[in-house]
Structure 1
Amino acid sequence: MQFEERRETYTKIATLYYLADMSQDDIAEIFHISRFKVSRILKKCRNFRIIEFHINNEPDYYAKLELEIKDLLSIEQVMIVPSGVTLQESKVNVAKMAANYLEGKITNGLIIGLSWGSTIQLIHKYFDPHTPADDALFVQLSGNLCSSSITQEGYIDGNILVQKFAAKAQSGWSVFQVPYVVQNPALKELLYQEPPILKHVNLFNKLDMALIGVGSSNPDRSDPYLTGYLTMEESKKLADDGMGADICGTRLTSDGQIRETILTNRMISIDLMDLHKLSEVCAVGAGSEKALSLIAGCKGGFIKKVIIDEVCALSIMSRLGDLVTN
């Protein structure tokens, strides 16, 4: 009998697993499919909202979790939002909180640095400043990634994203008209000699705040790999060598130290020491794969505030060995 991929069948499998307490092996035998396929279908059941989970937290659960993460990372502020059924829903929750945060910060004359990222892109969707900030300036912190989409999430490159934020705030903007990565460090040196590029880079020393995304610890999700500047082997080697954390293109050890890698002097982005001396640097992230970069960025003193989802928060605690004890 051929297995039919239908919602009704998915519902039966979910019922047997969650309500009848039947094992995935037993379900696989009933439907004549592999255990792997059962696992995959159960995941689809969450995505299709055939099943939904509700966890009854204590009223002050998130406030306590924020304090724990704040103490672990030794930073100024932690804002945690509930995780969604999917990673995309978690990103939306983070983006809404971050948009509200940015709306509360923006004023006339403020110079705001923005990095690229899928969550940063979502922030723009929910960013709705109440009054114009004519003299504010949005500054692109990293070069442009590529000439075509690298994600399935409606990709917008950094130069366009900065202009879109500025348009909503009725503010000025400055874009970084360079690639995010170059093959030869000599090319980076030549680009920095160009007057318009040098003028933009000099704005990094004048920033009042920065809102940034962070890199994934997953080698096949790193931007240099997705854009073709690194092979999968090279991307995995960075992670294996303890350099999986990524803040604005600079690779860090888990404790926030900058070390030389195959990407050194090839990434065109803000110098992390410019972030280090900036008092208002807020990083956003959702999901477990952002935990390593957030830890490294905070430990190195480059990130002062974070807006994250619950899964990311628990992943940070797990990585720091503090999950079970609390």
Structure 2
Amino acid sequence: MDFNPDELPYVNPNEERRVALVTGGNSGIGWFTVLHLYLHGYVVYIGGRSFTRVSKCIKEIEEEANKRRSAVIEEDLNQRFLGELRFVEIDLLSLKSVEEAAIVMNATEPRIDLLILNAGVMALPYGLTKDNFEIQFQTNYISHFLLTQRILPLIQGRIIFVSSVGHHFEVTPFDRSWTFNYKPNIIFTWFRYAMAKTSGIQYMKLLSLKHPEIHSYSVHPGFVMNTNLFSYWTRLPIFGVFFWLFFQVFGYFFGCSNEEGSYATLKCALSPETLLEENGSYFKFGGKISQPSRVASNINYAASNWVWTVRELRNRGFEDLS
């Protein structure tokens, strides 16, 4: 891979304060996304459910950052500055928690330069959240929509939604009320996942049109096979062993590491605007421009999805989102 995040511009926090909010930044791809933003001088808020887990994550990232800096020559160190790492509580399975996190951010920061919608779940059994949305749909899309709309006035930079090549499973536009609560789960769970990831891509496209001053992008990080996303499948009795073996073999031939998976996000987040494609674009592994599915690209489907989302959130008491 020819991408090197060390070549991206650095921020001097003594001269300019840059702020990022990363959901799910305490593990997997998000962990390395936070690491590199921290190494590039950003104040990074790590959105997570557990103060204990995120605090542990912060300590690990600080240790890794210092380790990497010890291998950098002094001349380069004089141009590279560490940022800050902070915790913000957010549980994407609870819209109330998302609302509270937005209140905290609005009260704490005058501006946000980067919003990275990274957290996600994949291929889970059918289930509903307390807000009566399907688990994957709320975690991957609905909660991110609510969070973004609530802090949109703060954002003066870029928004990046971490999607997936799995969005292509939405081969025809799905009614957003469909839950695909059918068996076998091993098949229909991918339709639920695809609908959530397609919705996120559509959301970024519409944001780029409604708010062209903000650069909104979607990324496919690549086949990252060693994240927590596959924990449900690998822990199944008996069959979990076979899934584990499959993921290991597939990952060996086609997969990438968690750090490599963060590169598409980092390119969209830190590259000078002149090096990026048009606002609303979709990037694949390594930060290379790509084309999402026909359904994800269709602006009329995107508009319908936006209207449906705002209506459903309004029905649950969340106003002023349009």
Which TM-score band (shorter chain)?
A: 0.3 to 0.5
Larger radius of gyration: 1
Give the TM-score, by structure 2 length.
0.38
- Looking at secondary structure, tell me which structure has more helix per residue: 2
Give the TM-score, by structure 1 length.
0.38
